[in-house]
Each structure stands twice: as structure tokens, then as C-alpha cells.
């Protein structure tokens, strides 16, 4: 039970969201419904950070452009775009894909009525946007939780199994007896335990729980 609790704590989940797997070291995180995509807060934060990159004159220009809408000529819009683009060119990127130039594009493109464009324009004026992200069922994966000694033992088993099931069958029978298992395992250990025990992304994570260090590997 302590391993289950440790895993739940590590993943920031409730105890009931994790269940035991096929043995006492393996656990399954129950699938759950989550909202997929960027939250309204993501957009709010992006616009706030973007405004910090601009001087007051540029902010006023964008506000005036959005207020006047389609009555602004394409030539005027292009001048505003080029002027502000130059101003933000070497500034830090605000966020991931919603980076500086794309925010400016969404704001100044009157032809664009897709969701992103409408969201950034509303938020520019401090309006509330709806959280329209889709609810999807997400499989949160399977994990193995081991003590230091258990991890070393499991690692040894995995390396031996790899030799027997993958390497030796590819060698001529006459060469199999000469294969240096210990030398190969020594080289393989330089990649770390996660490379062998974590079949998801090859990493090893740990948590201090009830005065013991437990090692966590995602297996699916």
C-alpha cells in the first residue's frame, strides 16, 4: 500500500485514482476525462505578457485598430503590423506556439474569424472567454515502483533477458558460448536503469516516502 501511496503522491493524484496491477510492484493509473488543449488562462497570460513587450503607443494602435475593425485600410494595417513586428522582433517569446508574431497576426487580421483569433481579440479588451476545450478520456499509464535493491535486481533480470531473447538468437551457435555477458552488461549499465526498466521514455524518477527512497518507472 505504501508504494501505491507514494506513486499517487508523485503523480499528484488521489489514492483512488491509482490501482494495483498484476503484482505488488506494478500499478495502473485509472483513465480519466481531461480537457484537451490550451486553457483560457493560457490565453490570458499570453496576452498580458505580450502587452508587456509593447510601448503605450503600440498598445493604443492595436486597440484603435480592433475598435475600428474592417473600416481600417489594408495599407494602414500592414504599416501597424510591420512597425510593431520590428518592435517585438528580439523580445523574449511569450509562450510556446502562441508566440509574439502569431499573437500580433491574430490581433490584426480582420479576415480571420477562427477560434484563436476571436479569443485573443476578446482578451485584449479584458473580456471573458469560454473554456471550450473538448473533454477526452486519457489513459494515464502503468508504473513500476521499486526500492533500490529491487530496482538493481530487476535491472539484472532485464539485461539477462535481453541477452537471451535478443542478442544470442542472432549469433551463430558456435559463437554463443564465447559471448561475454558481463562485459556487455557493464557497457549497458552506462545508460542507467531507466533505459531498461522504463519502456515509456527511458527515464528513472524517485520519491522520498516514509523514510525510504522509491524508484518509479513508467512501463506503458
Domain ranges of the chain: 2-32+141-218, 40-124
pTM above 0.75, yes or no: no
- The per-residue pLDDT for 34 is 86
- The per-residue pLDDT for 139 is 80
One digit per residue, the tens of pLDDT, for the chain of length 220 reads 699 999 999 999 999 999 999 999 999 999 888 898 889 999 999 899 899 889 999 999 999 999 988 788 888 888 988 888 888 877 776 655 556 788 888 898 877 678 888 999 999 999 999 999 999 988 889 999 999 999 999 999 999 999 999 999 999 999 999 999 999 999 999 999 999 999 999 999 999 999 999 999 999 9
Find, among 47, 16, 11, 207, the residue nearest to 128 by Cα: 47
In a 10 Å sphere around its CB, with 0-12 CB exposed, 13-18 middle and 19+ buried, how is residue 56 labelled? exposed
Long-range Cβ contacts of 103-111 (<8 Å, 24+ apart): 103/46, 103/47, 103/50, 104/50, 105/81, 107/62, 107/65, 107/66, 108/62, 108/65, 108/77, 108/80, 108/81, 110/69, 110/70, 110/72, 110/77
Amino acid at each position: 500500500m505504501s508504494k501505491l501511496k507514494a506513486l499517487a503522491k508523485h503523480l499528484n493524484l488521489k489514492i483512488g485514482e491509482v490501482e494495483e496491477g498484476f503484482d505488488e510492484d506494478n500499478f495502473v493509473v485509472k483513465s480519466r476525462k481531461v480537457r484537451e488543449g490550451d486553457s483560457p488562462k493560457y490565453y490570458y497570460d499570453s496576452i498580458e505578457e505580450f502587452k508587456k513587450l509593447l510601448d503605450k503607443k503600440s498598445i493604443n494602435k492595436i486597440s484603435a485598430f480592433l475598435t475600428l475593425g474592417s473600416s481600417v485600410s489594408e495599407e494602414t494595417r500592414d504599416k501597424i503590423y510591420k512597425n510593431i513586428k520590428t518592435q517585438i522582433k528580439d523580445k523574449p517569446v511569450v509562450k510556446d506556439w502562441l508566440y509574439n508574431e502569431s499573437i500580433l497576426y491574430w490581433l490584426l487580421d480582420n479576415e480571420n474569424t477562427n477560434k484563436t483569433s476571436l479569443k485573443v481579440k476578446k482578451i485584449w479588451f479584458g473580456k471573458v472567454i469560454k473554456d471550450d476545450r473538448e473533454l477526452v478520456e486519457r489513459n494515464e499509464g502503468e508504473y513500476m515502483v521499486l526500492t533500490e535493491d529491487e530496482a538493481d535486481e530487476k535491472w539484472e533480470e532485464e539485461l539477462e533477458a535481453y541477452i537471451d531473447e535478443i542478442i544470442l538468437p542472432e549469433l551463430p551457435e558456435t559463437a554463443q558460448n564465447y559471448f561475454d555477458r558481463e562485459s556487455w552488461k557493464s557497457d549497458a549499465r552506462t545508460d542507467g536503469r531507466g533505459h531498461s526498466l522504463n519502456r515509456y521514455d527511458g527515464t528513472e524518477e524517485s520519491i522520498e516516502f516514509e523514510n525510504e527512497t522509491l524508484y518509479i518507472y513508467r512501463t506503458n
